[in-house]
Amino acid sequence: MEKKHLALALLVTFVWGINFPITKLGLDSMDPFVLTGIRFALAAIPLVFFIRRPSVNFGYVAAYGLIFGVGMWGAINYGIAVGVAPGIASLIIQLSAFFTMFWGALLFRERLRPAQWIGATVVLIGLAGIFLAQKGAHQVFGIALIVLSAVAWSIGNVIIKKSGVKEIFSFMVWASLFPPIPMLAGTWLIQGGQPFVTTWHNVGSVAVFSLVFQVYLATHFSYWGWNSLMKLYPVSTVAPLSLMIPVFGIVTSIVLIGERVHPVEMASIVVIIVGLAIGIFGRGSAAVISRTVPVSASKI
């Protein structure tokens, strides 16, 4: 990989990693579902008025928008809001690679190599350690939400695979039209107007910065950069660099928001990264769809 492209890859993974603590900063003054709804509204508007619709069945666009925006980022933001450390969240979301591999084997008859089974087993051991290190039912529930978001992301990858879309940036912009309505309307129906009032009164420059970062850097810029690299280089060259996302996520969470990592969590983090490395470097064709859509979108 050329130096300029390696620099771009590292910048993208850094943006995706630091996006987790920056999201936490936004959640300090905004309801998680309101934040999610506003984020995707800004990701779609005004770009949908200038970017042509992707040339695929629009049902795929709608399905991906709901899975990615509501199922993935709605769950991530709620999980962080109830107590999951952003750095831990940036690590657990990488489980989507293994979930996607299994979807590939189940739906597309793609063969899983022994190394992928070994990697998945190692990751599960590390994940069990993360669960054991949590204090209180709310944190355990939050970790479960992040795992659920990884499952949602893997389903989104399958939708991308089935759609055969080529215009990824256009696909993301148009898909972003769909999360705001269920996120914002659902919040209103369940909680009334209080989350909106609280958000309005509490939002400040930090929350605005968080939103701008999530929309324009973690979503639009990073998506463009990662997919540009995917077009230039084999998946086997680009995908392993995604291991830098949780590294950047954990380090920047410690620096920016003072995240503290329990010794059991630290050991579990190492175990999970090792498992991810085994699975990614030992992947077969099933891993190709697992990295078709990166974590940015966020982002992740």
Element (H, E) at 228: helix 222-232
Note whether residue 10 is domain-resident: yes
Note whether residue 195 is domain-resident: yes
Note whether residue 228 is domain-resident: yes
Report the interhelical angle of 114-133 vs 137-163 (nearest 10°): 150
**Which tokens in the block code for residue 261?**
């990592």
Q: How confident is the model at residue 43 (pLDDT cuts 50, 70, 90)?
A: very high
Between 28-37, 72-81, 271-280, the lowest mean confidence (pLDDT) is in: 271-280
Which tens digits make up the pLDDT trace of 63-86? 999 999 999 999 999 999 988 889
Choice between 164 and 23, residue whose per-residue pLDDT is larger: 23
How far apart, in whole angstroms, are the C-alpha atoms of residue 8 and residue 14?
Answer: 10
Note whether residue 298 is domain-resident: no
Note whether residue 117 is domain-resident: yes
Choice between 280 and 13, residue whose per-residue pLDDT is larger: 13
How far apart, in whole angstroms, are the C-alpha atoms of residue 36 and residue 136?
Answer: 25
Note whether residue 48 is domain-resident: yes
DSSP label at residue 242: G
Number of domains in the chain: 1
State the average pLDDT for the chain.
Answer: 83
Q: 230, 9 in Cβ contact below 8 A?
A: no
**Which tokens in the block code for residue 21?**
């603590």
Note whether residue 296 is domain-resident: no
Q: Residue 270: pLDDT above 80?
A: yes
Supply the pTM of this predicted model: 0.81
Which tens digits make up the pLDDT trace of 207-227? 999 999 999 999 888 878 877
**Which tokens in the block code for residue 29?**
């003054």
Note whether residue 23 is domain-resident: yes
Which tens digits make up the pLDDT trace of 160-212? 878 888 888 899 899 999 999 999 999 999 888 888 988 888 888 999 999 99
Q: How confident is the model at residue 127 (pLDDT cuts 50, 70, 90)?
A: confident
Q: Residue 299: pLDDT above 70?
A: no
- The pLDDT value recorded for residue 289 is 45
The parent domain of residue 251 ranges over 3-290
